[in-house]
Amino acid sequence: MKPNMEYLPGYEELAVKRLPQMEPEQFQQWAALLKQRTGMRLPDNRTSFLATNLGMRMRELGINDYQTYFDFVQKGREGAIEWDRLVHHLTVHETRFLRQESVISLICEEHLPACREQCSSPALNIDVWSVGCSTGEEPYSIAMAIDDHMQQMGCQYYLGITASDISRSALAHGRKGIYSRQQVKNIEPRWLDNYFSVTDDEKFQVNEDLRKRVCFNHLNILDIGAAPIGMMDIIVCQNLLIYFDKEQRIAIANTLAAHLKPGGLLILGVGELLNWKHPELTRFTYANTLAFKRQAHLSDGQHGPDA
C-alpha cells in the first residue's frame, strides 16, 4: 500500500520540489519553441520527458512554473546561455566509436582509393564534416580510419575534420577527447595503442595529433546556409535527420550537397531520407549505407555555396 504522503514529515518541502503538472497548452508552447529553434519535433507522448527535463533545470534555478522559465530562456544573454544548456538536455546524444562499420569501409575501401587515383599532387587533401557529431566518437572514428588507411597505403595526406553540433556540452566533451573503458570497447587494441593515451584515472584520451585534426564547432544545422563552412570531400550526417520533418530533411540534405566538392561523398543515416534526389549527386550503392556522390566536375551553371 502506498504511504499517505500528506502525513509524512517534510511533505510540504517535498511538494514544493515536486514537478508542476504540465498542461497540454504548455507542452505545445514548448514543443513549438523547440521546433522553431532546433528543428526537432517533440511528439505528444513526450510530455513527461519534457516536464522532467524542464523540471530539473527549473528546480536548480528556483523557478516554480513553466511560463516563467519559458519567458526566461527567451530573454537576453542569460536566457540564451540557459537555452544552450537546456538544449543539451532535450537532444539525444547517443553515439559510439565505429558505430557504422560499413561507413568506415565505404570511405576507406571505395572513396579514398578513387580520390588517390584522381589526385595529381603528391599529397591528398581530405576535408571531412561530421554533422551532429555529439561527443566526438564519430569524427574521431573517421579520423583514425583515414589515418590508418593512408599510412598503410604509404600515402601522404592532409586531413581536416570539422565536427559540428548544437550542444556546447557535447562539443566540450569532444574537444577533450576523454572516454571511459566502456566507451572505447569497440576499438581494436592496435588503434587504442596508436591513437589514445591512458589518463591517471584510467580513462582513454585521444592523442593530441589526432585531436588537432578535428575542429569542434557550435552549429545549429538549421543555420548551415549562413555558416562559414567550406567545401568538403566527405560529409557524414547520421542519426540527426530523424529528428526533423520531411521538408527540413530535404532542405538540410540540399544544403549539405552544396558543400560537397566535385567527386565528394555525402553519407546519411540509412533510412533517414527516402526517395531524395539531387541533380548534381548520384546515389552510390554500398551495403548498409545511404551515400551520394557529387559528379567529378561541375558543369557550367552549377556552383557551390561560395559562388
Ligand X SMILES: C[S@@+](CC[C@H](N)C(=O)[O-])C[C@H]1O[C@@H](n2cnc3c(N)ncnc32)[C@H](O)[C@@H]1O
Rg of the chain (C-alpha set): 23
Q: Give whole-number Cα distances, 167 to 17, 62, 84, 154, in Å.
A: 27, 23, 7, 37
CA atoms within 13 A on the CB side of 103: 25
Contact call for residue 141 and ligand X (CB under 6 A)? no
Structural contact between residues 192 and 184, judged by C-beta atoms closer than 8 angstroms: yes
CB of 243 to ligand X, least distance (A): 6
Among 31, 86, 98, 166, binds ligand X (CB under 6 A): 166
- Chosen residue from 26, 238, 255, 289 binding ligand X by CB under 6 A: 238
Sheet holding 290-294, edge to edge: 214-218, 156-165, 123-131, 232-237, 260-268, 290-294, 281-284
Q: Does 139 bind ligand X (CB under 6 A)?
A: no
Interface with ligand X includes 99 (CB under 6 A)?
A: yes
Compare residues 13 and 94 and give the one whose CB is closer to ligand X.
Answer: 94
For the beta carbon of residue 228, count every other beta carbon within 10 angstroms: 7
203 sits near ligand X (criterion: CB under 6 A): no
Nearer to ligand X, 127 or 165 (CB): 165
Which amino acid appears at position 268 of this protein? Answer: L
Closest contact distance (angstroms) between CB of 68 and ligand X is: 25
Which of residues 63 and 229 has its CB atom nearest to ligand X in the complex? 229
CB of 156 to ligand X, least distance (A): 29
Q: CA 210, 185, 53, 27 torsion: positive or negative? A: positive
Asked if 92 interacts with ligand X (CB under 6 A), we say yes
Asked if 255 touches ligand X (CB under 6 A), the answer is no
Contact residue for ligand X among 222, 258, 260, 265 (CB under 6 A)? 222
Among 163, 101, 104, smallest CA distance to 131 is for 163
The answer to the question of residue 221 lying near ligand X (CB under 6 A) is: yes
184 binds ligand X (CB under 6 A): no
Q: Is 127 in the site for ligand X (CB under 6 A)?
A: no
294 secondary structure, DSSP code: E
- Residues in contact with ligand X, counted by CB under 6 A, come to a total of 24
Residue 201 Cα to chain centre, angstroms: 27
Contact between 162 and ligand X by CB under 6 A: the answer reads no
Cell 507522448 belongs to which residue? 45
Q: By C-alpha distance, which of 239, 257, 288, 283 is closest to 105? A: 288
Of 74 and 118, the one with the shorter C-beta distance to ligand X is: 74
Residue 132: all three cell numbers together? 551532429
- By CB under 6 A, tell whether 239 contacts ligand X: yes
Site for ligand X in 36-75 (CB under 6 A): 38-40
SS3 label, residue 163: strand
Positions in the binding site for ligand X (CB under 6 A) = 38-40, 91-95, 99, 132-134, 138, 165-167, 170, 220-222, 238-240, 243
